[in-house]
Amino acid sequence: MITSLHLKDFKNFQNAKIKLGPVTTLVGANGSGKSNLCDAFRFLHGIGRGYTLAQIFGGALGVGGEKVWEGIRGGAVGCARHGQEGFAIKLETLHESGSDETLVYEINVLTPKAPHEPTVRQEQLLMEEEEVYAAKKESLQDVQFSLSLAGLPDGNWDIDDKSPALYDAWKLSQNVEEEDPSGVIDLNEAGYLLGSLESLKSCLGEIRFLDLVPDQLRKPCAPGQSVLGARGENLSGVLQSLLKEEKNSQVLLSWIDSLLPHEIAGIEVVPVSPSTVQIALHEPGGNMVDGDRVSDGTLRFLGFLVALMTADPGELLFLEEVENGIHPSRLHLLIELIESQAQHRGIQVILTTHSSTLLDFLNKQSREHVYLIYRDRENSSGMVQQVMALPEAGNIIEKQGLGKLHASHWMEDSTLFSLPDPEGE
């Protein structure tokens, strides 16, 4: 589980830290920086997937020339705060779910204007404050990194500053034994630290971003899929795999039945061509609503349901503007779904929302992790404020409800009277 994120000069954030819970909710005016925070997680996800910086910022192609990664809004230069030539991101995560060993990862990136490429200036991973690896350049002009990796004598690793060193360090850690047949390395000690590279790489690589689009959700697709695409691709194929278990069918049906105002007798996935399948809903009396006619909101809800039911424990899901297309009277279902899956399956969720109604449905634990993203009145940089830490927040929220305070601008106004976070660096 990722426990905190600290941004320096990333997009509109000069210096902002956010602590994450099982369910973290980001609210704030248009243009305050919620999606910029999402971009920071996308940057980290790109590192976990082993991309170069040019690919992370600009997009990556697969072996067949198809786009497998979108790049980040604004590219490298757009990720550094206006007037800055780089940014830093620090992340804290637990080594394994259930453990309390903390990993701290930090990367500092230079983003010069074209024709120069973005480069890594410095990078480090600590486990329980012990260094797992550190990569740095002797000077800004240097291309080669000097990399120190736990337990290994300093070597002349062939690593340059065009890619984050995490992936290379992880690969090196895989064959430490072969690297050192003489047995100079204390493999027990090194192995303990090096195990954390795998943990961080998969933690970052498994972050998922969902921006579900009804047209993608309803499209027929190949059967037997296991992963829902970021825009909802493959919904029917993943659903088909889930429906093979009777227990899953019951769960899916009961959620959709609660969502819709009319009764649903069954959810099915049916062939629509020799190579594709598509979702269909059964109504009582034998009517069948095929995928082309299922409503947009139903599809989006199903998309979230399927994504949460198929996420691996420990995975982080980033969901932007979750309320889109869902009727306010049904938003409690969406929140119940997210909170229950986060709790029972050990998934972590970050959501952004503009819905005051949705905020009123958050449970007590999730309310602790509602953050207001706003602009500093003096220098306009992005600020992150835990809503429960605003003066008198507990009492006022108890009396008026979070939604009403959200809609009335109370949160923004209260930041005028809040003290700076003592942990802010």
Ligand X SMILES: Nc1ncnc2c1ncn2[C@@H]1O[C@H](COP(=O)(O)OP(=O)(O)OP(=O)(O)O)[C@@H](O)[C@H]1O
| Segment contacting Mg ion by CB under 5 A, of 29-37, 78-86, 136-144, 338-346 | 29-37
Phi first, then psi: what are they for 424, rounded to 5°?
-60, 135
Shortest distance (Å) from residue 82 CB to Mg ion: 18
Residues 6+ apart with CB under 8 A from 287: none
Of 82 and 293, which CB lies nearer to ligand X in the complex structure?
82
Task: Please pick, from the candidates 5, 12, 331, 347, the single residue that binds ligand X as defined by CB under 6 A.
Answer: 12
* Ramachandran quadrant class, 103 (left: phi over 0; alpha: psi -120 to 50; beta: rest): beta
Residue 353 as a binder of Mg ion (CB under 5 A): the answer is no
The binder of 116, among ligand X, Mg ion, none, by C-beta within 5 to 8 A per type, is none
Report the residue count for the chain. 425
Closest distance of CB 31 from ligand X, Å:
4
Nearer to ligand X, 19 or 42 (CB): 42
Q: Considering the rule CB under 6 A, would residue 30 count as an interface residue with ligand X?
A: yes
Residue 414, amino acid? S
Residues 157/136, Cβ–Cβ less than 8 Å:
no
| Stretch of residues binding Mg ion (CB under 5 A), selected from 34-42, 78-86, 103-111, 244-252 | 34-42
Helix (H) or strand (E) run with residue 79 in it: helix 75-79
Q: Does 35 bind Mg ion (CB under 5 A)?
A: yes
Determine if 24 is a binding residue for ligand X (CB under 6 A).
Answer: no
CA distance 355 to 138: 49
- In DSSP terms, 149 is beta-bridged to 133
**Interaction pattern, residues 294-333, with Mg ion; x per rule: CB under 5 A:** ----------------------------------------
Give dist(CA 40, CA 51) in Å, integer.
15
Minimum CB separation of residue 320 from ligand X in Å reads 8
119 lies in the site for ligand X, by CB under 6 A:
no
- Cα 144 from Cα 137, distance rounded (Å): 6
Which of these ranges, 32-40, 64-72, 94-102, 362-370, lies near Mg ion under the rule CB under 5 A? 32-40
**Which residues, including other chains, have CB under 8 Å from residue 365's CB and lie 6 or more apart?**
21, 22, 23, 339
CA–CA separation, 121 and 138 (whole Å): 10
DSSP assignment, residue 287?
A: -
Question: What 8-state DSSP symbol labels residue 69?
Answer: E
Among 6, 8, 19, 34, binds ligand X (CB under 6 A): 34
Closest CB to ligand X among 33 and 86?
33
Q: Which residues bind ligand X (CB under 6 A)?
A: 11-12, 28, 30-36, 74, 78, 80-82, 373
Q: Which chain residues interact with Mg ion by CB under 5 A?
A: 35
